[in-house]
Amino acid sequence: MSPLYFVSTNHNKYLEIESILQKYCISVVFSKLALTEIQSDSIEEIAIEKSKHAFAEMSRPVIVEDDGLFIYELNGFPGQYSSYVYKTIGNDGILKLMNNSKQRFAIFKSSLAFSDDMNHYGFTGEAEGKIAFNITEGGWGYDPIFIPNGSDLTYGQLQMLNRKTEFSHRAKALNRFAQWYNQNYKGMSTCEYKWDS
């Protein structure tokens, strides 16, 4: 059976995804490829279309991931444009936009999409939390400014303690995907795994 490929230009995402899928005995190979991204208000739709494009390019089973940071005080910005916004204004820019904001509630959403020659499926995960007042150490992307509910630490600080997956939106989407994948692709796993509750 063909190996599973994670298609992205973001190697940090791959490392995080690989470490989570290992516990389900799913091996994943990184394939660096820039994918066409449709304009849509839905990160789920964006991820599904990217996975179809990735499969068309590779003719192999693929997963792609799209995520977004939705900040309520900013009417959901940067949302589905999170990657572009991070590249242009970064965490400093986000904090400047929220300079006088006391309401800092945000949701980090992840949409993981799988495609092969017959299937196109999406799996989502969300983490509620808030935007920090300062940029912390650790992590990548928005990790140093997002504090998930249930923690006083940012994703960046949690990553440094190897605890980010306890709260991660991406881990929730990956857990859902992994359970579906192991149920539908019999014989792919070569070791014993435990289901998450």
Looking at the annotation, which residues are catalytic? 66
Structure-token pair, residue 96: 């400047």
Provide long-range contacts, Cβ within 8 A and 24+ apart, for 58-62: 58/5, 58/7, 58/31, 58/33, 59/117, 60/2, 60/3, 60/5, 60/116, 61/2, 61/3, 61/4, 61/5, 61/114, 61/115, 61/116, 62/4, 62/5, 62/6, 62/7, 62/31, 62/114, 62/115, 62/116
Query: What sign for the dihedral angle of Cα 153, 157, 162, 168?
Result: positive
Widest CA span in the chain: 55
- Residue 41 parent element (H or E): none
